[in-house]
Structure formats: structure tokens, C-alpha cells
A and B are shown apart, each in its own frame.
Chain A
Amino acid sequence: MSVRYPTSSLQALLSQIGPVDQVGIDERVAKYGTRSIKKAAKLWGLRTAVTMVDLTTLEGKDTPGKVASLCQKALRPADDASIPPTAAVCVYPSMVRHAKKHVGGTSVKVASVATAFPSGQAPLSTRLAEVRAAVADGADEIDMVINRGAFLAGEFAEVQDEIAAVVEACGRATLKVILEVSELESYDNIRAASFLAMQVIRPGDFIKTSTGKTSLNATLGNNQVMLEAIRDHYLATGVAIGMKPAGGIRTAKQALTFLIAVKETLGDAWLNNTRYRFGASSLLNDLLRQLEKERTGAYQAPYSFSESAESY
């Protein structure tokens, strides 16, 4: 569990965990998109996706009022009471206590980004203090960013040590480690960073693609690389790590395709919100829109379920 990679070249790390071929991954995930999900399977997939949403607002203009309405949306996504609540709301640390007021005691968790989100460019002590503060305010889950600068400089031990320090600061809160895949660029790097994180986090913690604050966020490709890393780690150690793609997943169709990737890579045990989440905001309304379409058979107008997360 506490194995640490020494400071070493990426090549040395890859020789241990194996490389990834980009074109091969891209072809693999293209096949998920050809799966055709109908009827009961579609309903199951849409409802399951709803329960996996970390309903997110991460704006400079966030207010307690905005967070309150987000929480209401998370608890009761639609008029239809049979629609389950989302997994969590995801907010900045300063909003944790406001969120906790609304969802505390329910199944909906409060997740908070921390560690100088999204850049992570603050002293470690500051980042750890932010984590402790969010947990103290009632955060059930902490979404941290890794030190990409250290990773790209080959300082793998530093990356791992920092993650380990955040694990400690989390206490009982679940940790989600954001790799910020767009800054790592290659699938090899994403696989390597996944392993660095998984080596020091706990069963039930997550690895997560992105902050949602860069140009490229979750894709089926980087999702697949991380799912395969989780699978390899699980089969080697028995430690089950969760996965959270974040940013860029806006449609129900996309979400179903991501879930197909989970079904065919990690299997049934990952098809629930203790092991798979979507970091998203506008996705939720599209899921609801499609559920309503399945229920009524009619395509929905935009004013029924806004396409803008702003209106939650």
C-alpha cells in the first residue's frame, strides 16, 4: 500500500506499469459509442447516471443562494419523485457550510474542491490547511489537484508525498485526486499519474480526470486509461479505487457511453456511485430530459429542463 516510487524518469515508471498506445485507446473507446442502449437498459443507465452526478458549481460568483438552489436540485432533481437524488454537490470550500445546511443528513454528500483549486499553485501548508478547513466545515469529500509541475519535472516522490499528506488531512472524508489530464497531455502520463495516486490513497477514494477549468476535460479516452489503471491496481492489490470523469460530459448519451466503458472495463461492481461519479452540472438536466422522454415518448422543449446549469 505505501509503496513509493523513487524520483525517476517517466520511462522507468512506465517500464513498471506498462505503456499505453494512444491510437489503440482511441479505437477501443470508439466502439463504446456504437453500443445501442434501448428501453429498460436505457432507463437503468439514465437513472444510475443521475445517482452518480456530483452536481457542481465552481464559479467566482457563487453565493449561498446559488448553492442552496443547487442543493435542492441535487436532492430532488425533478418533479417526478421517483427520480433519485444525485451523489453529491461539489462546491468551493467557502460554500461547504452553506451546502451542508441543505443536504446534511441526506444521502447527498458535500464535496469540496480544495488544495488551491484549480492550479494547485500554493504552498503545501496552505493547501493542507484548506483541506482541513473544508473537512471541518462538514465536507464529506475532498477533490484535490495533483502537483502537475512536480509530475512533469519528474518529481514523482513529491507528487506522491503531497497526495499522502492530503489523505491524512482528509481524515474520514473521501478523497478524489484530480490529475488534470489536459496538462499531463499523454495517455502514458495519465496512466503513470493514476498509479502514483492509487499507491497512496485509500480503498474507496477516487481518481478524477479534470478540474473542468482547462480546455480539455474528461474524454472517453482518458477515462479509459484511468479505468484500466484502476482495474490493474485492483487485480494486483485488491484495492478498489473509484473513478470520476469531470467536465465536458453534457449529454445523457455521453454519460451512457462512459457507463458502457465502466461496464466493459471494470464490471458491475463499479456501476454505482461509491465507485463512479460524473463531475458535471448541465448533464443532470439532459439526463432528466431523456428520462422524461422515455416516460412520455415526447421530445422535450428546452424550457422544461434548462440547458444552462445556471438556472438550477
Chain B
Amino acid sequence: MTRLPITKTPKVYVGGAFIRSESARVYPLHDASGAFYANIPQCTRKDLRNAVEAAAKAGPGWARRTAYNRGQILYRLGEMLEARASELAAALQLGGATPAAAAREVAAAVDRLVYYAGWTDKYESLLGSVNPVAAPYFNFTVTEPMGVVGIIAPDECPLLALITLIAPAITSGNTVVALASSKQPYPAILLGEMLATSDLPGGVVNLLTGFRKELVPTFATHAHLRALIAVADPEERKTLALGAADSVKRVRLIKAEVATDWFADAAQSLQAIRDTLEFKTTWHPVGT
């Protein structure tokens, strides 16, 4: 008699812990052949609220880490992904990716983390400035993370796109609440486990699974989310922008209906880091 393997109960990673939805709701995930695979937490607006709280709590500590330290942790996250590459590839194949395509996406995701790991202690010297004002003042502009950033990932490239959106935000010290692909949530479930073992403090990245329709309006209006980075369709973009107006939130909306090449070099950039930065200018007299 063959041994019946035990299956893993998918949980989302919020506040450094693995949780089910507070609503106790799940939705079934099927593999590419249509067979039942697992039940995925169907996170609600309350889960989102809790995740924002966790992210806000983790924020100051993460932002205060040295740039060097953040770089090492991002690199460590890359190591975790690399070490479990086959598992991640298998998760991508659940959604129908070929083994080659899945392996390629995992590799690209790891490389993306390595790319941003190298940016943590460099972007400031390119984005900030010392400004030669016409008066006896030392004037300088530095960047600061915006705070809690809401991220809404697309269905395509469920691992790579998610990481491409999260990594630049945490590079500078933001904390993140991200909604993973509804159709292909399993890579995000695994990613949570890697985040948990990567030295990244709990709460810095919080991953939710569930339905966009349910969560997009709350992403839009939650005032504590200071920025939104979302791949969204026209209707969602309008909802997000309308909600963002209430608390003058920063939004970068990527058109879901226009294909994005998540593998391209252009998908990673210094400018992506800048998207979740504030600029702060300080004046100080030069005198005795």
C-alpha cells in the first residue's frame, strides 16, 4: 500500500506569521489539469486592515536599518528563492507554465532580488542632492520611504511580477501589503515561507490572497496606505484613483490591458525605487 502524502494547508504571510483569513473563507485552487490542489485563503478587507497595521508597525524599524543591512537581507531572500527554486517552479507549473518557462521565471525573480539588493546603498546618492542655494545655507535633499505601500499584482508571471513590484518598495525601507494573483496565488504562498526565513523582519512584506473585486476598494481608500502600485484594468484604476484622492495617496497604475514584459531589463530600474520615495529638503545656515 502506497503511503498517502500529507498536503500543506496554504496560509498567507502577514505580520511575520502564517495565518488564515479572519473570515475563515477559502477558495479552491485547481492545477493546470483542473484537479483540486488546495484551498487558498480568501482574504477580506479586515485582513487587509490587519496587514496594514502589521506593515505600519514594522515600518520605522525597517527604514532605520542601514542600507547595507537591507541589501544583505534582500540578497538573503534571493538565496532562499534560489534554494527552493524547484518548488517555486512547480508552483508556477500549477498554473500551466512549462517547466522551462517556470524555471526561467524563478531565475528572473531571483536575479531581480539580487538587482535591488545592490541598489539599497546606492540610489540615495543618485536621487538625493546637495542644492547650491543663493544664500548662506547648506541645502540638501534626501529621500525617505513613503511608508506602507499597497501592491496589487497581476495574474501573469505570478512570482516575477509580484517580486518586481515588491522589491523596489522595500529596497528603500517601505513596508508592503501585496495582493497576489487571484488565479495563481500559490507562488505567493511559497514566497511567504521564503520571506519568513530570509531575515526580513516580520511585517515588512505582507502577502494576501483573495479576490481583487473584494479588496481593491479597500486598497483604494485605506488612508494609512501612502502609496499604491497596481497592475489594474481601467475600472480598477478609476476606483483606486478615486479612493486615493481622499487621502492624497501616491499612485502608480500599470495598465493590465497592455502587456508588460516582466522579464525585460526595463522592468527593473532606479525609477521604480523612486516611485515609493518622498523627497525631503533640509535647509541649515552656514555660519558661526
In the complex they form, whether A and B have CB atoms below 8 Å apart is answered with: yes
Interface residue ranges, A against B (CB under 8 Å): 21-24, 26, 185-188
Whether B288 and A187, one on each chain, are in contact in the complex, defined by CB atoms closer than 8 angstroms, is yes
B132 interface residue per 8 A CB criterion: no
Separation in Å of the B282 CB from the closest CB of chain A?
A: 15
Can you add 9 more A-B contacts, CB < 8 Å, to A21-B287, A22-B285, A24-B285?
A21-B285, A22-B287, A23-B136, A23-B137, A23-B286, A23-B287, A26-B136, A26-B287, A186-B288
Contacts of B286 in A (CB 8 A): 23
Main secondary structure of the interface of B (DSSP, over half): loop
Bound-state Cα–Cα, A156 to B287, Å:
24
Whether B288 and A188, one on each chain, are in contact in the complex, defined by CB atoms closer than 8 angstroms, is yes
Separation in Å of the A196 CB from the closest CB of chain B?
A: 19
Contacts of A26 in B (CB 8 A): 136, 287
Bound-state Cα–Cα, A174 to B210, Å:
88
Bound-state Cα–Cα, A187 to B285, Å:
14
Bound-state Cα–Cα, A187 to B286, Å:
14
Bound-state Cα–Cα, A21 to B288, Å:
7
**A–B complex contacts, Cβ < 8 Å, 10 sampled:** A21-B285, A22-B287, A22-B288, A23-B137, A23-B287, A24-B285, A26-B287, A185-B288, A186-B288, A187-B288
Interface residue ranges, B against A (CB under 8 Å): 136-137, 285-288
Contacts of B288 in A (CB 8 A): 22, 185-188
- Measured CB to CB, the nearest residue on chain B to A24 is B285
Bound-state Cα–Cα, A221 to B66, Å:
43
Contacts of A24 in B (CB 8 A): 285
- Measured CB to CB, the nearest residue on chain A to B285 is A23
- Measured CB to CB, the nearest residue on chain A to B284 is A23
Contacts of A21 in B (CB 8 A): 285, 287
Contacts of B285 in A (CB 8 A): 21-24
Bound-state Cα–Cα, A312 to B146, Å:
71
- Measured CB to CB, the nearest residue on chain A to B287 is A22
Bound-state Cα–Cα, A185 to B285, Å:
18
Report the 7 A-B pairs with minimum CB-CB distance, sorted nearest first.
A22-B287, A23-B285, A23-B287, A186-B288, A22-B288, A23-B136, A21-B285
Bound-state Cα–Cα, A23 to B285, Å:
6
Separation in Å of the A28 CB from the closest CB of chain B?
A: 12
Bound-state Cα–Cα, A23 to B283, Å:
12
Contacts of A23 in B (CB 8 A): 136-137, 285-287
Contacts of B287 in A (CB 8 A): 21-23, 26
Bound-state Cα–Cα, A15 to B184, Å:
65
Separation in Å of the B132 CB from the closest CB of chain A?
A: 16
Bound-state Cα–Cα, A221 to B214, Å:
65
Separation in Å of the B176 CB from the closest CB of chain A?
A: 42
Bound-state Cα–Cα, A185 to B137, Å:
20
- Measured CB to CB, the nearest residue on chain A to B136 is A23
Bound-state Cα–Cα, A11 to B13, Å:
54
Contacts of A186 in B (CB 8 A): 288
- Measured CB to CB, the nearest residue on chain A to B286 is A23
Bound-state Cα–Cα, A186 to B285, Å:
15
Interface-centre pick from B136, B137, B285, B288 (highest chain A CB count, 10 A): B288
Contacts of A187 in B (CB 8 A): 288
- Measured CB to CB, the nearest residue on chain B to A187 is B288
Separation in Å of the A20 CB from the closest CB of chain B?
A: 9
Separation in Å of the B95 CB from the closest CB of chain A?
A: 63
Bound-state Cα–Cα, A188 to B288, Å:
8
Bound-state Cα–Cα, A226 to B263, Å:
68
Contacts of B137 in A (CB 8 A): 23
Bound-state Cα–Cα, A198 to B83, Å:
76
Bound-state Cα–Cα, A22 to B288, Å:
6
Bound-state Cα–Cα, A185 to B287, Å:
12
Bound-state Cα–Cα, A26 to B287, Å:
10
Bound-state Cα–Cα, A188 to B287, Å:
11
Separation in Å of the B196 CB from the closest CB of chain A?
A: 51
Separation in Å of the A27 CB from the closest CB of chain B?
A: 9
Contacts of B136 in A (CB 8 A): 23, 26
Separation in Å of the B96 CB from the closest CB of chain A?
A: 66
Bound-state Cα–Cα, A124 to B26, Å:
94
Bound-state Cα–Cα, A23 to B133, Å:
14
Separation in Å of the B283 CB from the closest CB of chain A?
A: 10
Separation in Å of the B45 CB from the closest CB of chain A?
A: 51
Bound-state Cα–Cα, A298 to B287, Å:
43
Separation in Å of the B151 CB from the closest CB of chain A?
A: 44
Bound-state Cα–Cα, A98 to B142, Å:
68
